[in-house]
Amino acid sequence: MVISTSSAGAMESLHGLVDLRTAAQLLAAAAALYILIEHLSYHRKKGALPGPPLVVPFLGSAAHMVRDPARFWEVQAARASKSGAGLAADFLIGRFMVFIRDSELSHRVFANVRSDAFVLIGHPFGKKLFGDHNFIYLSGDDHKDLRRRMAPNFTPRAFATYAAIQQRVILSHLRRWLDRSAANGGKAMPIRVPCRQMNLDTSQTVFAGPYLTKEARERFEEDYNLFNVGLTALPVDLPGFAFRRARQSVPRLVRVLDRCARDSKARMRAGGEPECLVDYWMQETVREIDEAKEAGLLPPAHTDDGELGSFLFDMLFAAQDASTSSLCWAVSALDSHPDVLARVRAEVASLWSPESGEPITAEKIAEMKYTKAVALEVVRHRPPATLVPHIATKEFQLTEWYTIPKGAIVLPSVYESSFQGFPDPDAFDPERFFSEARREDVVYKRNFLAFGAGPHQCVGQRYALNHLVLFMALFVSVVDFRRDRTEGCDEPLYVPTIVPRDGCAVYLKQRCARFPSF
């Protein structure tokens, strides 16, 4: 039998079509099987926890989280609260997630940051972003040793050095704000971005001081902006995506900072006086390195320039956006509470005058007890970093009835804890920290988790509070301000810390007769 060429071609096409259809069916079956397995795994891990009954394959609720993070976390908190368990479950980019609202359960996570329980990651996909040589990923003796070596950074002498730097930088930026406001005809100016620029300038100068050139600062700011954008983007690690640009910016930032550590070591070894945080750190570090060398030993752990650059980056990251958040909320709260503003102004005026020509001394800062109470209430009322992401390295029995599965993203909410226990928690009330009779910072200490708890409690919390106190003291003394209040202006916006939705728009004009300069 003879088959024509055209018939043979038709049969080949038919076979090809059948093959494609078979492949498509197999692909569809594989996809359906993957979705089924993923859902079964999610429900097995979720157990009795409240959470969405169905999740989008692989992505889960990531799109909702990126699109409207405020609403997303409100839903998690509501689920955790209504269930009475203090816990809720969800699914993000192929990872099972446990949200913790209950303060005591959050303490259980904070207290168990170790290799066989939880790893602090700082971001749901932090390991990819921050890299491996990172302070927050250390635990056990390594972590204790590094915190011990950081101790000279936070002595009274060091804080006095930082305070002088902070005031110079803050005042230079406040001068710019006032000039910009005047140039714009006194129109309301959102201060979130100016606050962020001021904080970046402050933290760079306090932490790295003379070791950052003007060019290095400009490059640093560009890369830091890329990093911040990537923090709130979908974690797509492909060319052209914000997450990839953020991840690539970190090594460049670290290289700038490891040069600062190297230069500081050389200057401290030559007998220079500390002028910034890295100097206080390296002064003791070079002594330990030199002693080890004389004894014929290897240098102590975590004293390599590259590692130190990574640790400095962690500290800059922690100081940057969290402080921006607190400064914005402080301005908004002072405007909303004229009685609080009046008391802060009176306290500062009794200790310092803009016309004095001198900076506020460390002793005077310590006397600003009401202003510090306001700072504490700002941080309680609007904790800047609302969540502290961890990864469960192994199964962990969190309660009698629920075990967190290995690999889960675990998210203790310090925001939710701030509104538990405290009387009338929604009210902004500095008296809760100022009044000796109330002492709510002691009575409800377990719920005040804005700086974390346990071995990884924020090492720079005193620096952060001092910065907030200094900013408020200078701001209320040299600036008359009024909030541009519009509907929803104070709703939290995640960027990635929380800030007022309108960027904290304020009307500004100079208050003092002569602007301070020192």
State the burial class of residue 247 (Cβ atoms within 10 Å of its Cβ: 0-12, 13-18, 19+). Answer: buried
Rounded alpha-carbon distances, angstroms, from residue 125 to 131, 153, 235, 385, 388: 10, 29, 7, 16, 12
Rounded alpha-carbon distances, angstroms, from residue 118 to 62, 124, 181, 425: 22, 13, 48, 30
DSSP state of 271: T
CA 362/CA 99 separation, integer angstroms: 40
> At residue 474, what are phi and psi to the nearest 5 degrees?
-70, -45
The torsion region of residue 422 among left (phi > 0), alpha (psi -120 to 50) and beta comes to beta
The annotation status of 458 as a binding-site residue, yes or no, is yes
DSSP state of 233: S
DSSP string computed for 124-171: TTHHHHH-SS-GGG--HHHHHHHHHHHGGGGSHHHHHHHHHHHHHHHH
Helix, strand and coil content of the chain, in percent to the nearest 5, comes to 60, 10, 30
DSSP state of 301: T
The answer to whether 470 and 170 are in contact (CB under 8 A) is yes
The answer to whether 260 and 190 are in contact (CB under 8 A) is no
Binding residues for heme: 458
Q: Which residues are annotated as a binding site?
A: 458
